[in-house]
């Protein structure tokens, strides 16, 4: 009886380990990149690329992947700082508004300087009429610079491995370029 049990266990294990003729392995998805302990799959990248490319045909897969990495890094930092939204996009927006935008201050001389430098493009508007619009433009510029600096810092502290796209400029990307 004992011997029969062992034989049945051996047969069962060997059929599981060796498989039968009808079993097969299938690759369901490939890894496009790792960001620390998070994975970005090729399927996720393709989906993001299709969404972005539909809005702007100049978007490449490199840009889509970099966008995904940036969003993931900001999301992780937001969660670390206990800033959480209803979804990933809201978390990133809330983080940027609370952590970056709230710290940006524009001085009146900056508004005046911008007005003087761009007066020919401002269609003869008086500075008093467009001061708020100029301030919004300058705030957005400062927020973008600070986000690039933050991403540079987050990327330098992260372990990022890209498997699918070799040409992407990623982890040590300098925030002072492309200003």
Tens of pLDDT along the chain (179 residues) come to 556 655 656 665 555 555 555 555 556 678 889 999 899 999 999 999 999 999 989 989 999 999 999 999 999 999 999 999 899 899 999 999 999 999 999 999 999 999 888 888 877 788 888 899 999 999 999 999 999 999 999 999 999 999 855 444 444 455 555 44
Tell me the backbone φ, ψ of residue 41, rounded to 5 degrees.
-85, 160
**What is the rounded CA–CA span in Å between residue 13 and residue 10?**
5
Structural contact between residues 158 and 151, judged by C-beta atoms closer than 8 angstroms: no
Give 59-65 contacts, CB < 8 A, sequence gap 24+: 61/164, 61/165, 62/165, 62/167, 62/168, 62/169, 65/32, 65/33, 65/40, 65/162, 65/164, 65/165, 65/168
Q: Tell me, what's the pLDDT at 24?
A: 52
DSSP at 80: H
Residue 83 DSSP SS3? coil
Per-domain residue ranges of the chain:
28-162
Q: Specify the CATH architecture of the domain 28-162.
A: Orthogonal Bundle (1.10)
Do the beta carbons of residue 48 and residue 171 sit within 8 Å? Answer: no
């Amino acid at each position: 009886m004992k011997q029969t049990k062992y034989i049945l266990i051996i047969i069962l294990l060997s059929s599981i380990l060796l498989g039968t003729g009808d079993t097969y392995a299938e690759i369901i998805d490939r890894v496009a990149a790792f960001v620390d302990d998070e994975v970005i799959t090729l399927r996720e990248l393709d989906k993001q690329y299709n969404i972005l490319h539909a809005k702007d045909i100049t978007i490449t897969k490199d840009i889509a992947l970099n966008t995904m990495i940036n969003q993931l890094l900001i999301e992780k930092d937001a969660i670390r700082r206990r800033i959480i939204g209803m979804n990933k996009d809201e978390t990133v927006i809330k983080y940027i508004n609370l952590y970056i935008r709230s710290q940006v201050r524009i001085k009146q001389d900056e508004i005046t300087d911008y007005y003087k430098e761009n007066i020919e493009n401002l269609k003869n508007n008086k500075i008093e009429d467009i001061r708020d619009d100029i301030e919004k433009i300058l705030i957005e510029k400062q927020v973008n610079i600070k986000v690039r600096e933050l991403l540079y810092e987050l990327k330098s502290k992260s372990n990022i491995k890209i498997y699918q796209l070799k040409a992407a400029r990623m982890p040590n990307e300098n925030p002072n370029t492309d200003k």
